Chains A and B, each alone.
Chain A
Amino acid sequence: MADSGVTDGAEKKEDITRVKNEGKELSKEEKQRLRKEKKSQKKNKEKKDEQDALASEREKNCAPSTLSQPAAHKAETAASPPVQAAVSEPPAPAAAAPPADKPAKSKAELKAERRARQEAERASKPGKKGDPGPQSTAGKPKAPPSELQPVVKRLPEHVQVDNPEVLKKLAKKLERQQIPLRSDYGYKVSLFSHLHQYSRKAPLTQQLSIPSTVIHPVIVRLGLQYSQGIVAGSNARSVALLHAFKQVIRDYVTPPNEELSRDMVNKLKPYISFLNQCRPLSASMGNAIKYIKKEISNIPSQCKEEEAKTKLQDCIDRYIREKIVLAARAISKYAIEKISDGDVILVYGCSSLVNHILCEASEKRRKFRVIVVDSRPRLEGREALRRLVKHGISCTYVLISALSYVLPEVSKVFLGAHALLANGYVMSRVGTSQIALVAKAFNVPVLVCCETYKFCERVQTDSFVSNELDDPDDLMVTRKGKTQLEGWQQVSQLGLLNLVYDVTPPDFVDLVITDLGMIPCTSVPVVLRVKNVDQ
């Protein structure tokens, strides 16, 4: 049977049905197969890959031989997809963090195999056919790697913009939540056509009613501030989001016959969709939302409304205080140890955390100077420059094209991060990986400063898969009254790309300074695991 990616339970069912249908021959082959499984489970991934290759060959060979019982097989295949779909739900969440869950998965595998073996032996008195045997052996080794991900990979919607079905589903979901759909703008460069690209001149509020009734006015204001870039930067966006949620919670009234813990989460969902439409959510915002949702659903049902609301607001205050404000203080304490007198520190763009560290360091009377590297079109470095100079730090300002010219005099590079991914990659403003790369070439240590609430369980090794496309019109600049790129939409082969983020591999990062201490980049999954256990 050409069933690739068969999952545990499906297989079990297949075994049983096959046993029932095909008769005695199954038992010997099955026992053989099960013995092989036990061996394969102890081996590592590469072995399984080999067997995968073999399996595909064997399957091809077995295909003609199964023509003898096409009807029965078809029935089974018909039965297995729904079974697969049903069973793929439980494995899917478990499959979310493959590296961490590897040992756990094989335990579940073992259990299922044992159960299947028992069933098979119970019914194994009649014989079995030879064909399903090698097939199932082929299927089995293929199962462990593939059962980590079900047949249909559940990709997030925002990286499937070129798939019309996903867009239709999104449109339906937004319609249900009464939120307008923001349409994409302009020609997208082909490598990034799977991402959204919006124009700042077409705000989402155009399609909303003016005294906004569906969406809380605070959320509308927040969405506008996000899309216009008034609130920019990972920490700023999270704090603003939590502030807005505090207001929403304050104005919330439990409808009759509803429970606060369940209804409030439903109320927040359309707001989150709206904010996502205004500007894709950042990893830190995602973690904050997860925290709030957990807190809301943990409210006991006998809790009175006022009490619950104050409790939630206190939770939010505590989260901001602990994860952002105090974390910044802890990080600067660690980071200041790394700054010595006479240092030349290079920073990129405007990171609130790095600015905070440098300002604290200058208050502690360390003697150092800073080189601020900036890049178009955002030119955020100007804001960082202003804040540092205001504190009395002597700064140099260069554009990123001058990076290799200034690096010989730099002693350390401090970078901020938008998120730290589970495989140790650092997601930050576009240009950061450039800086890290060139710094590595010059043997300058690169230190990334990041609070733990920005650690995210996603895994990414390149900047293409999941990114954010900003308004392409930002790349147009008017000098001396002339705008060269004014008619870029009319030129057929021209596409403007305004990327926002990029990922830096952990080989280029020497140290990550978090509120838990100074860790190497590869220890991020450990921190994540510890965090999960704590919660």
Chain B
Amino acid sequence: MELQAVLMAAGGGSRMMDLTYNTPKPMLPVGNKPLMWYPLNLLERVGFEEVIVITTKEVQKMMSTDPKMKLEVKMKLDVVCIPEDTDMGTADALRHIQQKIKTDILVMSCDLITDAALHEVVDLFRAHNATLAMMMSKAHEFTETVPGQKGKKKTAEQRDFVGVDESGKRLLFMANEADLEEGLSIRKSIMRKHPRMHIKTGLVDAHLYCLKKSVVDFLAENKSISSIRGELVPYLVRKQFSKAANSQTTKDEADEQSQKQKDGNVNLDLHILSRDEPLLQLAQDYSCWNDHRGDMSDAYHGGTLRCYVHIMEQGLCYRVNTLAAYIEANRLAPKLFEEPAVHPSAVVSERCLIGSDSIIGAGGQIAEKTSIKRSTIGNSVTVKEKVKVTNSIVMHGVTIEEGCNIQGSVICSNAVIGHGADLKYCLVGNGQRIEPEAERTNEVIVGSDQLMEI
């Protein structure tokens, strides 16, 4: 087997607590499908037959009852539950399933919605025998107004600095603004080997990683690394140019000797050396190819640890981890698939206006004289007469009484909006009741129990 897929679906959605305090993030509806359906669908389309899903018990329960998951996901899902209270990072989760991993892995996050061609990332992984291959995409500005945002203040997202070589494929440098105290410093060894480096910001990490099996074994021994994105990836990128990885000029035995004397980080290099290395090295020596030119070193500068990145220029790539991203994703996700806008089982009266970019979920009941534009209506939603819904997301089981006007809002599941209410850019939490004739603008209406959580 070549690759095993691992889907990380235990994340809490810490940046959109208003949405996730009741529904776990993997099961949030996007375009009337649970969020984790999208990466699973991508894996299925590409040809995977089995996926290891790391999630919590709550999500597993919801998965088994969700109709979309049961019917449309044909792959074998091996669900591994991790206890909810422990603060397990993604790398910790990989360590947890180390026994199941027999070959190289493809790690995805459940909040990735993309139409990327996965073979581009995997080809980099295969062709260059890379240790890590990941995908990034140009970030898009979110144009929709986010409910509950007070004013134009945007939380300064910590920028990521990504350094790639001339070809744009080899990953040379990765650091987050938060880790750089005084400034961006680049080691001389990197500059000597790759004098031309492009440093890019404004890239979104798709959190899709192809990792060699030796990395998982390394994680099992180094328990200090707990997050893939935050710690493992920068570590691997740095390790490409460390002295130990580049002692290719001395003989292999001498290498192993000197490396055994060091400790801790040694293990990664020992893991990297694969079987049958001499023949591969012979083929590389005979081959007249080099990945860089201008200096006297062999291909890859003799290093065995290589990290590659595929930067998507066009196409959709969203990480649904903030409210703004969630709204944007809801807008664009339906365009990924050719599905009828109005679900066949929805009961829609004749005299209602449903815009072309709105979707109505199963079992919805839309009464007369309603107007629904650029909105997503979930399953089993009851919309009474004379309701105007614009630019909004209405989740499952919501009841909207007559005469309401809902604009730019997010209404979570099982909420009830009383008649005549006028909501602009609001977020109504789970199961909330909005009293009739209410007028709310730019507010987050959630239950008192949620307010208690700090």
A residues neighboring B (CB under 8 Å):
203, 205-206, 208-213, 217, 220-221, 224-225, 228-233, 235-237, 239-240, 242-243, 246-247, 320, 325, 349-350, 352, 380, 382-384, 386, 389-390
Cβ-defined contact, A239 with B128, below 8 A = no
Cβ-defined contact, A217 with B2, below 8 A = yes
- Is B122 at the interface (CB under 8 A from chain A)? yes
Cβ-defined contact, A225 with B3, below 8 A = no
Cβ-defined contact, B118 with A210, below 8 A = yes
Write out the residue numbers on chain A whose beta carbons fall within 8 Å of the beta carbon of B2.
210-212, 217, 220
Write out the residue numbers on chain B whose beta carbons fall within 8 Å of the beta carbon of A242.
279
Interface residues of B in 323-359 (CB under 8 A from A): none
Write out the residue numbers on chain B whose beta carbons fall within 8 Å of the beta carbon of A236.
283-288
Cβ-defined contact, A352 with B285, below 8 A = yes
A229 to B5 alpha-carbon distance, docked (Å) = 29
| A-B contacts, 10 listed (Cβ < 8 Å) | A211-B3, A231-B289, A232-B289, A236-B287, A240-B280, A242-B279, A246-B276, A246-B279, A325-B282, A386-B296
Cβ-defined contact, A205 with B119, below 8 A = yes
Cβ-defined contact, A233 with B126, below 8 A = no
Residue of A nearest to B106 (CB): A210
A157 to B1 alpha-carbon distance, docked (Å) = 32
- Is B438 at the interface (CB under 8 A from chain A)? no
B residues neighboring A (CB under 8 Å):
1-5, 46-49, 106, 117-119, 122-123, 126-129, 276, 279-280, 282-290, 293, 296
- Minimal beta-carbon separation of B117 from chain A (angstroms): 7
A213 to B50 alpha-carbon distance, docked (Å) = 12
Cβ-defined contact, B287 with A230, below 8 A = yes
**Those 7 A-B pairs whose CB atoms lie nearest each other, nearest first:** A209-B47, A350-B288, A236-B287, A236-B286, A217-B2, A240-B283, A243-B279
Cβ-defined contact, A230 with B127, below 8 A = yes
A434 to B122 alpha-carbon distance, docked (Å) = 41
Cβ-defined contact, B119 with A383, below 8 A = no
A211 to B49 alpha-carbon distance, docked (Å) = 9
Write out the residue numbers on chain A whose beta carbons fall within 8 Å of the beta carbon of B49.
211, 213
A383 to B294 alpha-carbon distance, docked (Å) = 10
A246 to B245 alpha-carbon distance, docked (Å) = 27
Residue of B nearest to A240 (CB): B283
A306 to B284 alpha-carbon distance, docked (Å) = 29
- Minimal beta-carbon separation of A389 from chain B (angstroms): 7
- Minimal beta-carbon separation of B448 from chain A (angstroms): 48
- Minimal beta-carbon separation of A226 from chain B (angstroms): 10
> 18 other contacts beyond A206-B119, A231-B283, with CB at 8 A cut-off?
A205-B123, A211-B47, A217-B1, A220-B126, A224-B126, A230-B287, A230-B289, A231-B284, A232-B287, A233-B287, A239-B283, A239-B286, A243-B283, A247-B276, A320-B279, A325-B282, A382-B293, A384-B288
Residue of B nearest to A382 (CB): B293
Write out the residue numbers on chain A whose beta carbons fall within 8 Å of the beta carbon of B284.
231, 236
- Minimal beta-carbon separation of A428 from chain B (angstroms): 13
Residue of B nearest to A239 (CB): B283
- Minimal beta-carbon separation of B287 from chain A (angstroms): 4
A233 to B2 alpha-carbon distance, docked (Å) = 27
- Minimal beta-carbon separation of A475 from chain B (angstroms): 19
